[in-house]
Amino acid sequence: MREAVSGFVRKQAARHSAKIDRMLKKDYLIRQIHELVRVLFELLLKTKENPQKEEREIFNQAYSFLNLTKDDLISRTSGQIIELFENETLGLEKLELLGFLLFNEFKFADDFKDEYLLHLSKDILTYVDQHSDSYSLERQMIFARMKGINK
């Protein structure tokens, strides 16, 4: 009996270890992609005559990838936006990407009228954090930065 329990515990520990390993690899890959996009974004803006126009176009392209526009986002609550992705394949991943986009657009905004973007980003990333089975260091870092903004 003791051997059966011990074998079961070892199998559970191995499964848990494998799950953590997958989560860490996924988080690392996502962070590397985000960093690459950030660097490309900055390089693109430095080479353009009108960086604000280019910046707007980049955000519009990113939103169109998610089948949204900025007007769609501004006219909806965070709950309505979450509902759009709830039943989609990779819905949580798309929501997380949207939360990151909204936060970054808020950072690039010229004034605080886009503060609603920060509010949407926080709500969406909180939802993802509560419903995802993976830990995201980047998500936690953004939460910490949001706390600094709100002070």
Give residue 15's domain range. Answer: 2-150
pTM: 0.67
Query: What pLDDT shows up at residue 131?
Result: 92
Query: What pLDDT shows up at residue 126?
Result: 95
Query: What pLDDT shows up at residue 35?
Result: 73
Give the closest residue to 68 by CA, choosing from 39, 102, 35: 102
Query: What pLDDT shows up at residue 72?
Result: 87
Overall number of domains in the chain: 1
Helical segments of 66-150, H only: 70-74, 78-85, 91-108, 115-131, 137-150
State the Cα–Cα distance between residues 49 and 9, nearest whole angstrom. 62
Tokens of 59: 């955000």
The one-digit pLDDT tens for each residue of the chain (151 residues) are 666 656 666 776 677 677 777 777 777 767 777 777 777 667 666 666 666 677 777 788 888 888 888 888 889 999 999 999 988 878 888 899 899 889 888 887 766 557 888 999 999 999 999 998 888 888 888 999 888 876 5
Percent helix, strand, coil in the chain, to 5, is 85, 0, 15
115-131 helix and 78-85 helix, angle to the nearest 10 degrees = 50
Give the closest residue to 133 by CA, choosing from 98, 103, 92, 102: 92
DSSP for 70-94, please give it: HHHHHTS-HHHHHHHHTTSTTHHHH
